[in-house]
Amino acid sequence: MPAAGPLLAAVEVLPAEGELSTAARFTVADTETVLPGHYPGFPIFPGVCLVECARQGAEATLPDGAKGARLAAVESTRFTGPVFPGDRIDIALAWKLTPAGDWQVRAKLTTGRGPAAGVRLRYAAPATTGEEAAA
């Protein structure tokens, strides 16, 4: 997947355990442009970049029924540990279809030191032909 947003590198998609349980990873390069200002002399990978890693991983692994869905909300984030230059971030993604017909993904991001973040994203279901005609 090509890099997008604030990240220099791309999130790498890993072989899936199943359609609704997927995985990705990202290695934080010393050259990431966000590091010099966050924080000078003690660089920490910003939380918003962890959300971006989760988004890229999610969009690269959308379940078949979610193809064409678009990000509708960042429902929750929780940052639980620091991420430093050189860290590899492992991203475990768990998908589910909501009662409203949207797709929700829970991303657990970890480094070699343990949990780094939990992110929950919601993707709006792709419009059907009937809905497009009504719009």
Question: Catalytic amino acids?
Answer: 38
Q: Phi/psi class of residue 83: alpha, beta or left (left: φ > 0; alpha: ψ in -120 to 50)? A: beta
Question: Which of 86, 92, 98, 99 lies closest to 122, judged by CA?
Answer: 98
Distance CA(88)–CA(10), nearest Å, equals 12
